Structure 1
Amino acid sequence: MINNSNIDNIGGMEFATFRLKEGVTEARLVELSNQVESEFLSRQEELILHFLVRGTDGIYADVAIASSQEKAEEYCQQWLGNAVALEYLELLEKESVNMTFWTKIN
Structure 2
Amino acid sequence: MIKKGDIDSIGGMEFATFRLKEGVTEATLVELSNRVELDFLSQQDELILHFLVRGANGTYADVAIASSQEKAEEYCQQWLSDKVALEYLELIDKESVNMTFWTRVH
For normalisation by structure 1, the TM-score amounts to 0.95
Q: Residues of 2 paired with 1:49 and 1:34: CA distance?
A: 13
User: Does 2:50 align with 1:50?
Assistant: yes
Gap regions ≥5 residues in structure 1 = none
Amino acid at match of 2:25: T
State the Cα RMSD in Å: 0.9
Contact 1:7 1:48 in 2 (8 A): no
Q: Residues of 2 paired with 1:98 and 1:91: CA distance?
A: 15
- State the partner residue of 1:96: 96
Q: Residues of 2 paired with 1:94 and 1:45: CA distance?
A: 28
User: Does 2:37 align with 1:37?
Assistant: yes
Amino acid at match of 1:52: L
Q: Residues of 2 paired with 1:101 and 1:51: CA distance?
A: 15
Amino acid at match of 1:22: E
Please state how far the C-alpha of 1:80 moved relative to its aligned partner.
Answer: 0.3
Please state how far the C-alpha of 1:73 moved relative to its aligned partner.
Answer: 0.0
In structure 1, the residue corresponding to 2:15 is in which secondary structure?
Answer: strand
In structure 2, the residue corresponding to 1:21 is in which secondary structure?
Answer: coil
Amino acid at match of 1:57: N
Please state how far the C-alpha of 1:25 moved relative to its aligned partner.
Answer: 0.3
Alignment of 1:57-76 (within 5 A): 57-76=57-76
Q: Residues of 2 paired with 1:7 and 1:38: CA distance?
A: 22
Q: Residues of 1 paired with 2:28 and 2:98: CA distance?
A: 21
In structure 1, the residue corresponding to 2:70 is in which secondary structure?
Answer: helix
Q: Residues of 1 paired with 2:58 and 2:38: CA distance?
A: 26
Amino acid at match of 1:35: R
Please state how far the C-alpha of 1:87 moved relative to its aligned partner.
Answer: 0.2
User: Does 2:3 align with 1:24?
Assistant: no
Q: Aligned pair count?
A: 103
